[in-house]
Amino acid sequence: MNPEHRSAGDSDSSGVKSWMVEFTVQDNGREQRHLTLIRAEDIHNVHSQLLKELKHSYQDRDRVDVTVHRIEPVSTYTDALLFEGIYSP
């Protein structure tokens, strides 16, 4: 997928924010897992944008089955203690 690149927590005055969408596509017996970022105001716009991405990515297919595992707004809050001692520069 080709999401528009912006900082994870960016939101402008119109209320647009980043949403993380994790889903699986089954196509001709083949299963592919996807993770994408979608910029949208609310969950209804997320669904619309995801449908557009799927239509663009699988435009030559008659049918694909999609299972959405997770849709959630991206937060810039990170608990640094979760990563303490795990990663080092």
CATH number, domain of 60, equals: 3.10.20.10
Number of domains in the chain: 1
1 within domain boundaries: no
Residue 73 domain boundaries: 17-83
2 occurs within a structural domain: no
* pTM higher than 0.75: no
Res. 6 pLDDT band, cuts 50 70 90: very low
Whole-number pLDDT of residue 88:
60
In terms of Cα–Cα distance, which of 57, 64, 44, 77 is closest to 3? 57
Reply yes or no on whether the pLDDT at 38 is more than 60.
yes
Q: Is the dihedral of CA 46, 47, 53, 54 positive or negative?
A: positive
β-bridge mates for residue 24, sequence order: 33, 67
Quote the CA–CA distance of 46 and 85 in Å, as a whole number: 36
In a domain, 51, yes or no: yes
Distance (Å, rounded) from C-alpha 27 to C-alpha 48?
21
CA atoms within 13 A on the CB side of 63: 3
pLDDT at 11 > cutoff 80: no
